[in-house]
Amino acid sequence: MEKWISIIALILVVVFASGCTAQSSAKTYSSNNISFQYPGNWSTDYNSSLQNLGNEGDVLVTLGKDNSGMAVAKADTGSSNISASTLASGFKTIIQSKYQYISNKTVTVDGINATQLVIKDSSNGDYGSLTFLNKNNSIYIIMISTPDNNLQTINMILNSFKFQ
Distance CA 24, CA 14 (A): 23
State how far the alpha carbon of 151 is from the alpha carbons of 10, 30, 107, 147, 159, in Å.
23, 22, 13, 11, 11
Question: How would residue 4 be classed by pLDDT, with cut points 50, 70 and 90?
Answer: low
Please report the pLDDT score of residue 140 as a whole number.
93
Question: How would residue 19 be classed by pLDDT, with cut points 50, 70 and 90?
Answer: very low
Q: Collapsing DSSP states into helix, strand and coil, what is residue 79?
A: helix
Give me the domains of the chain, ranges plus CATH numbers.
Answer: 2-163 (3.40.1000.10)
pTM (predicted TM-score): 0.81
Q: Measured in Å, how far apart are the chain's first and last C-alpha atoms?
A: 27
Strand partners, 143: 71, 130
Kindly report, residue by residue over 47-104, the tens digit of the pLDDT: 554 454 455 568 888 888 876 789 899 888 877 778 888 888 888 777 777 788 888 8
